[in-house]
């Protein structure tokens, strides 16, 4: 009897220890989870299901310890034991995505979603992958679905917020990031992203506050430390003032449409007059007024290809690339012979990162409009983004030979030369571009980027400012100027430290 009691007690004690190990392992705490996970993995008497869970939990610990290679080894072992382990497929897909192995990421995430189409974590990770590939339409669909399935999870909101930030849609980005942080106040990724969004808007105090919250959670986070210093340096460079959160300089500087323009548009039935109104409003910078006139045209004539093309151009200028592409699609459907619509759609697809589709448009243009210099220029731009630098250079050379007065081709050829390391040739082409069009914000910005690479910050800052004086809403110049000001401020701080 005593032997039975002792054996029973030992068994109960062992079971309790195993339960404690599993609890500690599942916590995925870098400080205490590796050993209990390892005991479960190495136990010969443990079930395969528990070993799979332990491998997945230990992999997450290694991810949190910034050791993705070891994490991948654990996930590979887990998926050898159970090829349908959903969490393992999703986490391995995420690690492939972080490393830029997009095809392998999609293979894992698609496999997970084939098993369970409603697995929100795989949907969110696939959405992240599509976003990094530049396929914002698919990214949005996956992230929207992940949020609909699990609206109390912070991760999909953070991922969608980052996507919107990279698209330049800062208001929508902040809505999602605020929601993510409300659901998980110590969500470092969302805090960093929100800080970056505030900094892009010029709200430096709010940006610095978010970076400070990250440092309260992770005191040694070097990126947060650098961003916080940058935010304060930018605030100082801007005169020590952050704009009010509601202030939107791009809207404030745009002239308001006449008070009766809305009535005039809604009552007008003459399409020629409506096009005239649209063009007038566009020149004034009133994009909403332009779109109202174009909407009126398509309400009267749903088959007006020119109106859909113009609407696409307005949406492109507003930064809504997805909708712009859809409007160019419709314009081409209504008028397949429109060279302008094809060129605009090709440029939009390049910005969206859909290079294969863009190349189809580029090749089509060269076939049907071989005498138009723009056809070779736009195909060269696709090739440039694909990394086919020599072929891109050939296209730009041909475009310039056909139309030496086209400044945009010189700008694009300068990009190709810059990518090939031909600094002097790049600068020469940018000078030619500016001789053709002295008010090219794009050429000035490209030249400023070369000066930054040279370490000539003062010259770069001057060029960026000149570009923004021409086009205050030109995003590459805005971001370039911010980066240059931060670099200059940090170098001045370093000098003070050395001299002090």
Q: Which domains does the chain have, with CATH numbers?
A: 165-242 (1.25.40.10), 258-499 (1.25.40.10)
Of the chain, the percentage scoring pLDDT greater than 90 comes to 27
pLDDT at 165 over 90: no
- Mean pLDDT on 53-72: 86
Q: How many CB atoms lie within 10 A of CB 93?
A: 29
Termini Cα distance of the chain: 82
pLDDT of 246 above 90: no
- Residue 64: band (very low, low, confident or very high) from pLDDT cuts 50, 70, 90: confident
Least confident segment among 29-43, 110-124, 461-475: 29-43
SS3 of residue 305 by DSSP: helix
User: Which range has the worst mean pLDDT, 51-65, 119-133, 249-263, 411-425?
Assistant: 249-263
For residues 359 and 258, the model is more confident at 359
pLDDT above 80 (res 217)? yes
pLDDT of 453 over the 70 cut: yes
Q: Is the confidence at residue 252, as pLDDT, over 60? A: no
Most confident of 27-31, 130-134, 438-442: 438-442
pLDDT value of residue 20: 63
Which pLDDT band, with edges at 50, 70 and 90, does 44 fall under? Answer: confident
Q: What mean pLDDT value characterizes the chain? A: 82
Rounded CA separation 170/476 (Å): 15
Q: What angle do CA 303, 304, 308 make, to 5 degrees?
A: 105
* Whether pLDDT at 63 is above 90: no
**240: number of Cβ within 10 Å:** 9
What average pLDDT does the segment 245-252 reach? Answer: 33
User: What pLDDT does 498 receive?
Assistant: 42
Residue 328: partners with Cβ closer than 8 Å, 6 or more residues away: 308, 309, 312, 341, 344, 345, 348
Q: Indicate if the pLDDT at residue 497 is higher than 50.
A: no
Residue 422 has a CB neighbour count (10 Å cut-off) of 15
pLDDT tens readout for residues 479-491: 778 777 877 766 5
Q: Is residue 21 within 8 Å of 36, Cβ to Cβ?
A: yes
pLDDT of 244 strictly over 70? no
212-234 exposure pattern, b = at least 16 Cβ within 10 A, e = fewer: ebbbeebeebeebeebbbbbbbb
pLDDT for 361-376, tens place per residue? 999 999 998 888 899 9
Contact 250, 473 (CB under 8 A): yes
Higher pLDDT, 30 or 378: 378
SS3 of residue 391 by DSSP: helix
Task: Decide if pLDDT at 424 tops 90.
Answer: yes
Least confident of 63-72, 248-257, 461-470: 248-257
Return the ∠ at Cα 499 (arms to 494 and 500), rounded to 5°. Answer: 95
């Amino acid at each position: 009897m005593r032997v039975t009691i002792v054996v029973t007690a030992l068994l109960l004690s062992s079971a309790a220890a195993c339960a404690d190990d599993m609890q500690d392992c599942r916590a995925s705490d870098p400080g205490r989870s590796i050993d209990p996970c390892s005991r479960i993995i190495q136990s010969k008497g443990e079930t395969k299901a528990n070993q799979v869970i332990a491998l997945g939990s230990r992999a997450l610990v290694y991810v949190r310890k910034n050791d993705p290679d070891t994490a991948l080894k654990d996930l590979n072992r887990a998926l050898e034991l159970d090829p349908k382990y959903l969490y393992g497929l999703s986490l391995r897909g995420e690690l492939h995505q972080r490393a830029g192995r997009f095809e392998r990421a999609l293979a894992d995430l698609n496999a997970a979603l084939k098993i369970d189409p409603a697995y929100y974590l795989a949907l969110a990770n696939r959405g992240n992958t599509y976003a990094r590939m530049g396929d914002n339409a698919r990214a949005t669909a996956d992230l929207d679905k992940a949020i609909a399935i699990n609206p109390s999870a912070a991760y999909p909101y953070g991922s969608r917020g980052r996507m919107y930030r990279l698209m330049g849609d800062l208001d929508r980005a902040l809505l999602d990031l605020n929601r993510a942080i409300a659901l998980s106040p110590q969500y470092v990724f969302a805090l960093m992203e929100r800080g970056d969004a505030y900094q892009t808007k010029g709200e430096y105090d709010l940006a610095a506050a978010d970076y400070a919250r990250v440092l309260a959670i992770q005191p040694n986070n070097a990126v947060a430390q650098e961003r916080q210093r940058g935010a304060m340096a930018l605030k100082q460079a801007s005169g020590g003032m952050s704009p009010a959160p509601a202030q939107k300089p791009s809207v404030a500087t745009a002239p308001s449409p006449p008070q009766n323009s809305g009535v005039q548009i809604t009552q007008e039935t003459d399409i020629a007059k409506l096009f005239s109104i649209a063009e007038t409003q566009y020149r004034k910078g009133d994009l909403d007024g332009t779109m109202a006139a174009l909407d009126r045209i398509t309400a009267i004539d749903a088959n007006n290809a020119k109106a859909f093309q113009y609407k696409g151009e307005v949406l492109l200028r507003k930064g809504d690339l997805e909708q712009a592409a859809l409007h160019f699609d419709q314009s081409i459907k209504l008028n397949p012979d429109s060279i302008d619509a094809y060129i605009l759609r090709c440029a939009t697809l390049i910005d969206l990162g859909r290079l294969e589709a863009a190349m189809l448009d580029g090749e089509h243009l060269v076939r049907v409009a071989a005498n138009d210099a723009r056809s070779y220029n736009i195909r060269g731009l696709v090739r440039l983004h694909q990394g086919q630098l020599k072929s891109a250079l050939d296209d730009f050379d041909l475009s310039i030979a056909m139309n030496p007065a086209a400044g945009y081709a010189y700008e694009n050829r300068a990009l190709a030369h810059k990518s090939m390391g031909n600094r002097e040739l790049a600068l020469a082409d940018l000078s030619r571009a500016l001789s053709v069009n002295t008010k090219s914000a794009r050429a000035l910005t490209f030249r400023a980027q070369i000066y930054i690479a040279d370490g000539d910050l003062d010259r770069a800052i001057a060029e960026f400012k000149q570009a923004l004086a021409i086009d205050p809403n030109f995003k590459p110049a805005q971001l370039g100027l911010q980066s240059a000001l931060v670099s200059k401020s940090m170098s001045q701080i370093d000098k003070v430290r050395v001299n002090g």
